[in-house]
Structure 1
Amino acid sequence: MAAVATTREVDALLSVDAPVAIGVSGGKDSQAAALATFRHLDRIGHSGPRLLIHADLGTVEWKDSLPTCERLAHHLGTDFVVVARKAGGLMERWESRWQSSKDRYESLSTVTLVPCWSTPAMRFCTSELKTHVITAELKRRFPGQTVVNVTGVRADESVARAKQTVASFDKDGRFLNWRPILHWNVDEVFAAIDGSGLNPHPAYRVFGMSRVSCRYCIMSNLADLTAASAQPESHDTYRRMVRLECSSSFAFQGSRWLGDVAPHLLDHFDRARLAEAKTIAARRVAAEKRITKPMLYVKGWPHRMLTDTEADILAGVRNEVSALLGFRSACLDRSSIHARYAELLAAKANRQMEAA
């Protein structure tokens, strides 16, 4: 097995038996990171608390992910903790985000519709459903202690991950995020798993996927999306996600519609809805392009009243978009838009006065 990478900060905390928590998803990298970390801890005589922790994302998870983590914990002879977002899994988060976007649009609390899906630039799927729930549980378990938080991040995975360091403290100094296999290659990862006598997640060698996360991940390439769609266990999730594409008019991966990956899994009604959603999406995008840059939502919006011309533009766009998506929107003419902006600006001024 390849050696782990450490830093002085990691070594110092491990030398005083700081708690070590290893995040595991069922994927190969977290599995290899757990195996390598335990071997290192045993070698240096670490006797502090150790555990594996898994954030359950709900219906989007492969059915083999949790059992893979459980087998790993049993192999290592360590505690295994499962946490989850109280308000539901990732599918529920996507659906509630769309409902929130719709509600905000109808009440003119935003200028344009917000996509329901997480994106590479806005990965609330990771921050809200993994990082937040895991760190909350670790703070509860280890109050007042600095926790060594291990992840299976590898530099080979992306340009962004290649820029990460072996270890870094979080902003509060409660967690030292350690990436012990940052410089491993994929062969070293599989060698560590195979050498342990365990099997990697079947998605790699049985399903033919290059990465394992959700059944359908915002980061997946077309080959992985296609491979996922070949598995019967993913069909219900596929249809549910395509229906959200249809109702929202937002494609799962920007310009790539999940519904195009495996249309044979859809019935005639859903295929018709998908075709209509694409038409609606194109018309929605064209309509929203009429909104000028100074009118768009930015932090602290609104900063000023609109001109009559701007209000007329916004009214036209809101009428068109609302008709396309069947919304019951308020503020569809110049006067009601001006009144809404005045209301929003007054509320903003009151909040600022109260905070002063």
Structure 2
Amino acid sequence: MNRQLHLLSARDLLTAEPVPDLAAADVIVASHSGGKDSMAALDETVRRAEAAGVRDRVVVLHCDLGVTPRGHTVEWPGAVDLARRHADFYGLPFEVRRSARWPSLVHRIRDRGQFPGLFTRYCTSEMKYAVARKFITEQVATLGVTGRPARVVLVLGLRAEESRDRAAKPTVELDRRSSSGRRTITLWYPVLRWSTAEVWDRVRATGLPHHPAYDQGMSRLSCSFCVLASIPDLICAARLRPELADEYTRLEADMGSPFRRELPMSEVIRRAGRAA
């Protein structure tokens, strides 16, 4: 059998959107940013894990992007506390991990001398995925699995609507880069094919609170100033977090590199002021 499908049940192989065979997993790590997609993905994970009789194997992980040199959280304030509250609701263990090398994404940007971009998304690869995989290493070490690789499912709330690259992904795939003789990591994107409306329907069905930034105009909840965010979201973020926007402007000046080539943070701030 193809190794990529080793955690798929026979029944799920017949469906359009495969689901990992969660009963075969030794640990299920659900990444939770505090955003709506993570909320829906976590709820779907819990439902599926409960049906498979392995709810006790789910652990919720928040990868924190840290605090800037001027004392501002890179992520939306309250995101980590909200993720913790959601984990508590389901009775699941909750863990927070950060990069051991950089105190925050802003420190990493300064070290690199430029902001992330479409083809240089080190913000996710180094500050989130690498941190998640290190956490998985910790988990595997405590499992005590012998005679075979530990089976890990990493759940991520990615959705196809957000980019062409994500739209091309399968719902379940083997993380070949991070799998080894000690562990096999299967990536699962349970809400990949869901629409925004379907995500919000599930969020409302949980009865759990969502982050207030959505009610204040944000359509997505990644880091507060994501280089890949829409212009309306960036303008909204600058209006809601002017001090962080100012710190990014100072960072641009120090590095001589703009936030986005066609859109420096100073212009985002100017548009936010005009929209106020």
Work out which of the residue numbers 85, 95, 101 in structure 1 matches 2:99: 85
Work out which of the residue numbers 73, 79, 84 in structure 1 matches 2:87: 73
Which structure is higher in helix share? 1
Note the C-alpha offset of 1:17.
4.4
CA distance in 1, matches of 2:258, 2:266: 8
Work out which of the residue numbers 235, 242, 252 in structure 2 matches 1:245: 252
Task: Report the counterpart of residue 212 of structure 1 in structure 2.
Answer: 221
Return the letter of the residue paired with 2:262.
S
Report matched runs for 1:141-156 at 5 Å. 141-143=139-141, 144-156=149-161
CA distance in 1, matches of 2:56, 2:269: 49
CA distance in 2, matches of 1:95, 1:88: 11
1:198 aligns with 2:205: no
Q: Provide TM-score, normalisation by structure 1.
A: 0.64
Note the C-alpha offset of 1:8.
6.5
CA distance in 2, matches of 1:200, 1:48: 25
Report matched runs for 1:161-240 at 5 Å. 161-171=166-176, 172-173=178-179, 174-205=184-215, 207-231=216-240, 234-240=241-247
CA distance in 2, matches of 1:192, 1:47: 19
Return the letter of the residue paired with 1:45.
G
Q: Provide TM-score, normalisation by structure 2.
A: 0.82
Note the C-alpha offset of 1:212.
0.8
Task: Report the counterpart of residue 16 of structure 2 in structure 1.
Answer: none
CA distance in 1, matches of 2:131, 2:260: 25
Indicate the SS of the match to 1:236. Answer: helix
Contact 2:7 2:24 survives alignment (8 Å): no
Return the letter of the residue paired with 1:216.
F
Distance 1:265 1:165, change over 3 A: closer
Task: Report the counterpart of residue 342 of structure 1 in structure 2.
Answer: none
Indicate the SS of the match to 1:142. Answer: helix
Note the C-alpha offset of 1:64.
2.0
Moved runs in structure 1, 4+ residues, more than 4 A?
none
CA distance in 2, matches of 1:261, 1:214: 16
Contact 2:60 2:92 survives alignment (8 Å): yes
CA distance in 2, matches of 1:16, 1:265: 50
Distance 1:45 1:264, change over 3 A: closer
Contact 2:235 2:271 survives alignment (8 Å): no
Distance 1:255 1:47, change over 3 A: closer
Return the letter of the residue paired with 1:126.
T
Task: Report the counterpart of residue 97 of structure 1 in structure 2.
Answer: 112
The CA RMSD measured in Å over matched residues stands at 1.9
**Which segments of 5 or more consecutive residues in structure 2 lack a partner in the other structure?**
10-19, 67-72, 142-148
Q: Percent identity?
A: 30
The number of residue pairs the alignment matches comes to: 240
Distance 1:81 1:218, change over 3 A: same
Distance 1:252 1:75, change over 3 A: same
**Which segments of 5 or more consecutive residues in structure 1 lack a partner in the other structure?**
1-6, 99-115, 267-356
